[in-house]
């Protein structure tokens, strides 16, 4: 049972939502997806229902959470979601039996929950030698390089591959216990590992958007589901 955090509540009337690709990725890997709204149960209760956790993508985290100031490109801020997911991460990391995977925004939540912060808009800092998102807010592709001998190389079986990218923010200061294990060519951090947990990873790209056509990206979800089932094998 793999819990996946949802978007929202947003809209009128307010609703929780999640792209189907996340559910399909978990299902293809042999798991059962459980959607986790940001209200209706305590974090402790939610974590008691699932065997693994995916922190999904979506809108930006409120910069006030990490003292990030303001920027005109910040969008779709939902403070209720921010608070829920940050607490979810902190409690999940105290459960060594529960594998954790942060995707895009989810990797950023992982970093912030551990005391890190973000670059508010990557083009302001890194330029556009690597395009991480097409205007106005569309996905694109670029290569990432993962560190040899680290968890992502073990999972993917290679150190460089193309990824689906859809973000405009990225890790600045690292959270406590986190290490970068993948980067884009412009040095933007694309992968993180939390060494104080048996399986807690973050990726800045969107592997769920590639699994239908790319067997390589399926390996990340397959590994998560195996871990959730009690296997220590990568």
| Partners of 179 in the β-ladder | 193
Global pTM value: 0.97
Nearest to 186 by CA among 171, 199, 197: 171
**CATH code 3.40.50.970 for 2-228:** no
In DSSP terms, which residues pair with 144 in a beta bridge? 161, 184
Residues 6+ apart with CB under 8 A from 19: 56, 208
**Nearest-angstrom CA–CA distance, 144 and 176:** 23
The predicted pLDDT at position 232 comes to 59
Q: How far apart are CA 6 and CA 4, in angstroms?
A: 6
User: From CA 133, how far away is CA 136, in angstroms rounded?
Assistant: 8
17-33 burial, b at 16+ Cβ within 10 Å, e below that, comes to: ebbebbbebbbebebeb
Walking along the chain (234 residues) 10 residues at a time, the average pLDDT comes out as 95 94 98 92 93 98 96 96 97 98 98 98 97 97 98 98 98 98 98 98 98 97 96 56
**Which member of 104, 119, 132, 168 is catalytic?**
104
Both structure tokens of 212: 């239908």
Specify whether 104 is catalytic: yes
Q: What is the pLDDT of residue 40?
A: 75
As to burial, measured by CB atoms within 10 angstroms (0-12 exposed, 13-18 middle, 19+ buried), residue 50 is buried
Query: Which residue(s) pair with 5 in the sheet?
Result: 36
What is the pLDDT, as a whole number, of residue 230?
Answer: 84
Strands (E), the chain: 2-5, 7-10, 15-17, 33-36, 52-55, 100-103, 118-119, 140-146, 160-165, 170-171, 178-184, 189-194, 200-203
Instruction: Please pick, among 85, 119, 153, 208, the residue that the annotation labels catalytic.
Output: 208
DSSP H stretches of helix in the chain: 20-28, 43-47, 79-92, 105-113, 122-126, 151-156, 215-228
132, 142, 167, 206: the catalytic one is 206
End-to-end Cα, the chain, rounded Å? 18
Q: Is 206 a catalytic residue?
A: yes
């Amino acid at each position: 049972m793999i819990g996946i955090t949802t978007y929202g509540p947003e809209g009128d009337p307010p609703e929780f939502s999640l792209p189907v690709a996340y559910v399909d990725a978990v299902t293809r890997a042999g798991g059962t997806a459980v959607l986790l709204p940001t209200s209706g149960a305590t974090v402790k209760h939610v974590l008691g229902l699932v065997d693994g956790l995916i922190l999904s993508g979506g809108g930006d985290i409120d910069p006030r959470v990490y003292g990030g100031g303001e920027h005109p490109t910040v969008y779709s801020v939902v403070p209720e979601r921010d608070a829920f997911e940050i607490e979810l991460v902190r409690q999940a990391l105290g459960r060594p039996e529960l594998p954790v995977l942060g995707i895009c925004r989810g990797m950023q939540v992982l970093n912030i929950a551990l005391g890190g912060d973000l670059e508010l808009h990557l083009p302001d800092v890194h330029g556009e030698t690597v395009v991480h998102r097409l205007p106005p807010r569309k996905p694109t592709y670029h290569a990432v390089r993962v560190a040899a001998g680290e968890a992502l190389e073990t999972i993917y079986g290679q150190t460089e591959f193309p990824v689906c990218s859809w973000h405009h923010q990225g890790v600045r200061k690292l959270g406590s216990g986190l290490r970068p294990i993948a980067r884009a060519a412009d040095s933007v951090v694309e992968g993180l590992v939390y060494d104080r947990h048996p399986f807690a990873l973050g990726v800045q790209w969107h592997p769920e958007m590639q699994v239908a056509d790319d067997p390589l990206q399926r390996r990340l979800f397959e590994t998560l589901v195996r871990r959730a089932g009690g296997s220590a094998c990568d």
